[in-house]
Amino acid sequence: MKLVTFLHSGKERTGVLSGKTIRPFQGDPSLLSVIRSGALPPFAGGSLSLEDVRLLAPIPRPEGDIICLGMNFRDHTVEAARFDPVMKRENKAVYFSKRTVEATPPGGKIPSHRDLTQMLDYEAEIAFVLGRDAANVSPDEARECVFGYTILNDVSARDLQTAHKQFYFGKSLDGFTPMGPCIVTADEFSYPPDIPIRCYVNGEKRQDGSTRHWVFSIADVLCELSRGMTLKSGTVISMGTPAGVGMGSSPPKYLKPGDTVRCEADGIGVLENTVE
Ligand code: MG
């Protein structure tokens, strides 16, 4: 099942997408509240055409920072360490957070923030959304904690992340979290998931990976983090990007205004955004 948040007649609404048709939920509860309630709300009756609405990020305003993994694909670890030797992964997962005041919708603009960065980069990723509060999760319980999956572009200002010795600022500028086009419930995928993810910039394929190549799995992440910190239902955890980001090219291929970044994931859809 594909859950969407969308604008229709100026109102933020939610529902289930199948093909090109959306069945809206009665009362349009936020997807965050739907996920937390543990049950699907009733439908409003009737349906809408996808063409008559504007999709928003499925969770437009995440509660709390998004939790991200860095260097969770071996091939990306190699290119990242070439760019900055500090970004060498040891045998522990690299966690960081990404502030997202408002997630950028499918088709939305990625601000280039030219006053702050000359090294704007993309990272196509699969993120999962927690469907329950997670504390002291065992490996066997991890699967049940996953509500579903979405595409997230972990837009990054490389010069800021290097200058500040920390990913936080360089990953958290306004508009740096394109997300969508939907959340697909976990039952539509195998577990552990094997979701192909690709990224194109102006039509040129830059990234081509699959979640089966994650170094640290969902179970690894949930078991480790939830030992010491409770993770709330609705938390978004983005699992890292494969090789092929702009900083990995030589010379680097950073984004510039007018560029189009298209992230695709089989079974989820397309998340396309233009830099402005
Ligand atoms: Mg990333």
Distances (CA, A) of 78 to 82, 84, 152, 238, 249: 6, 10, 22, 20, 12
Tell me: do 6 and 91 sit in the same domain: no
Q: Quick check: 117 pLDDT over 70?
A: yes
Tell me: do 9 and 116 sit in the same domain: no
Q: Is residue 214 assigned to a domain?
A: yes
Domain count across the chain: 2
Tell me: do 47 and 178 sit in the same domain: no
Q: Quick check: 66 pLDDT over 70?
A: yes
Tell me: do 29 and 75 sit in the same domain: no
Tell me: do 150 and 221 sit in the same domain: yes
Tell me: do 133 and 176 sit in the same domain: yes
| Token pair 């005041």: residue | 101
13 Cα–ligand 1 center, Å: 29
Q: Is residue 16 assigned to a domain?
A: yes
The rounded Cα 174 to chain-centroid distance in angstroms is 15
Which tens digit of pLDDT belongs to each residue from 219-243? 999 999 999 999 999 999 999 999 9
Tell me: do 149 and 219 sit in the same domain: yes
Q: Return all residues near 20 (Cβ < 8 A) that are at least 6 apart.
A: 49, 50, 51
Q: Is residue 254 assigned to a domain?
A: yes
48 Cα–ligand 1 center, Å: 34
Which tens digit of pLDDT belongs to each residue from 166-217? 999 999 999 999 999 999 999 999 999 999 999 999 999 999 999 999 999 9
76 Cα–ligand 1 center, Å: 10
Tell me: do 117 and 247 sit in the same domain: yes
Tell me: do 251 and 227 sit in the same domain: yes
Tell me: do 172 and 242 sit in the same domain: yes
Q: Indicate whether this model's pTM tops 0.75.
A: yes
194 Cα–ligand 1 center, Å: 18
Percent residues over pLDDT 70 in the chain: 98
- Give pLDDT, residue 233: 98
Domain span at residue 194? 66-275
- Give pLDDT, residue 75: 86
- Indicate which CATH number applies to the domain containing 223: 3.90.850.10
Q: Quick check: 7 pLDDT over 80?
A: yes
73 Cα–ligand 1 center, Å: 10
Q: Is residue 140 assigned to a domain?
A: yes
Tell me: do 225 and 263 sit in the same domain: yes
